[in-house]
Structure 1
Amino acid sequence: MAEAREVDLESWSRAGQFNLFRSYDRPHFATTARVDVTALMTKGKSAGASPYRAFIHAIGAGVHAVPALKMRFIGDQVFEYGAIALSATVPRPGDTFGYAYIPYIADWAEFDHSCKAIIEETARGTDFGANTGQRFDLAYLSCLPWIDFTALDNALPGPDDCIPRFSWGKIVQGHDGRWSCPVAVQVHHALVDGLQVGQFFQAAQACLDQFADTNTDTA
């Protein structure tokens, strides 16, 4: 598990929101928005980039750009982790899947090499790999490439689950020739507000836009 610092609730500007939403039976909220993946589909993919791994990387970039998305609470203590691992669903034969645990690396080429190896190993495995509460330094990721969804809600074990969920759907081309994809973000309101969700989308979009300049084969 990554190192974490405890947040001082006495000086934390969001202590009021934290105490309020910790008392809710349903404290999570989900937001779905479209991201532009034209650079990924027209330049990145032709240079060998996997859209699946590119989305994992972009989500990791968004998470690490927003301190609130690296915060977790255990009881009444709040911690901010220095690094968040990306726990993504990986398809397996027979309509099953397993959970991969992928360290985030800012450099795309280095991340892609590591991510590909972890995904391939997870796809060959048999252990489900679900987190049973032993780790908090995670973000949960899932891909629904069959659906151009407009909203998405996740299964949650209870009101104290504060690990954020990220899902992306079918990549589609619009009448203007540009490509886009829906991305859903589900967070615990005790730790994250709409402002931070907006900051996540901004950082993830910037990461995806970097493929406009790529000329490297990462397959």
Structure 2
Amino acid sequence: MAEHPVDLETWPRTPQFRWFRSFEKPHYAVTVRMDATHLMKVRKAAGHSLFRASLHAIGCGLHGVPELNMRFRGDSVVRHDRVMLSTPVPRPDGGFNFSYVPFDPDFARFDAGAEAAIEEARNRATLAGNAEGMDGVAYMSCLPWLDFTALDNALPHADDCIPRVAWGKIVPEGTGWRMAMGIQVHHALVDGEHLGGFFEGVQTALDAG
């Protein structure tokens, strides 16, 4: 997972980057209703995990928008070419641990790696939260109990620029299925146009396979 410096002298968003870095609350969140019809009728029918298929689609959306893989380095910016997907995994005895799933654009390879990473986390004795300050990661949350219309996330400070993505209960709608998906980002790195690209990428991946 290499990282690459962003040249602030040529980056078109440098003025916006510097503007929003001064904000006390620079984060914003957007929730969209995604079409989950193919996910339910094809992926589920083929015996695939809906959780891991959704996770892969989110990874496709994140990696299709370079700004979602950018992170602060003091007053500078770097871009990761790959980020891991971190998601809570329920423990057999209650509570949860964090998993760290490597992203692969190939669904079969991703699915095998995700299954192994999630199973390791499920049986690990420690929470393994991101205490090392690693930022080549995006945080995921599945809320299968809720068909939510908006969400917010716990953030440790204003300079936390790691995207948070959550998706909710899959519900019938008309002849198909829908699910809520929300993303929270730092405005110094990500604008609404970038989120449009993210949701488009996620939907394309949900409809594939």
Q: Hey, what does 1:33 align to over in structure 2?
A: 32
Bigger mean CA deviation after superposition, 93-102 or 69-78: 93-102
Q: 2:177 aligns with which of 169, 176, 179?
A: 179
Once residues 13 and 131 of structure 2 are traced to their aligned partners in structure 1, the CA distance between those partners, rounded to angstroms, is 28
Q: 2:191 aligns with which of 190, 193, 206?
A: 193
Once residues 205 and 87 of structure 2 are traced to their aligned partners in structure 1, the CA distance between those partners, rounded to angstroms, is 18
Q: Does residue 20 of structure 1 match 2:19?
A: yes
Task: Report the identity percentage.
Answer: 49
- Summarize deviations over 1:28-71 as a string: whole Å, max 9, x none: 00000011110110111010111100111011000100000010
Runs of at least 5 residues in structure 2 that lack an aligned partner in the other structure: none
Q: Hey, what does 1:104 align to over in structure 2?
A: 103
CA-CA distance at 1:133 after TM superposition:
4.3
Once residues 204 and 73 of structure 1 are traced to their aligned partners in structure 2, the CA distance between those partners, rounded to angstroms, is 25
- Report the TM-score when normalising by structure 1: 0.93
Q: Specify the code of the residue in structure 2 equivalent to 1:80.
A: R
Q: Specify the code of the residue in structure 1 equivalent to 2:142.
A: C
Once residues 82 and 210 of structure 1 are traced to their aligned partners in structure 2, the CA distance between those partners, rounded to angstroms, is 23
CA-CA distance at 1:179 after TM superposition:
0.6
Q: Does residue 9 of structure 1 match 2:8?
A: yes
- Provide the secondary structure at the position in 1 that maps to 2:30: strand
Bigger mean CA deviation after superposition, 90-99 or 21-30: 90-99
- Summarize deviations over 1:65-121 as a string: whole Å, max 9, x none: 000001001210100011111111111134411111111001111110111111111
Bigger mean CA deviation after superposition, 91-100 or 143-152: 91-100
Q: Hey, what does 1:155 align to over in structure 2?
A: 154
Q: Specify the code of the residue in structure 1 equivalent to 2:183.
A: V
CA RMSD of aligned residues (A): 0.9
Q: Specify the code of the residue in structure 1 equivalent to 2:7.
A: D
Q: Hey, what does 1:117 align to over in structure 2?
A: 116
Q: Specify the code of the residue in structure 2 equivalent to 1:29.
A: Y
Total equivalences in the alignment: 209
CA-CA distance at 1:134 after TM superposition:
2.5
Once residues 166 and 126 of structure 2 are traced to their aligned partners in structure 1, the CA distance between those partners, rounded to angstroms, is 22
Q: Specify the code of the residue in structure 2 equivalent to 1:97.
A: F
Runs of at least 5 residues in structure 1 that lack an aligned partner in the other structure: 212-219
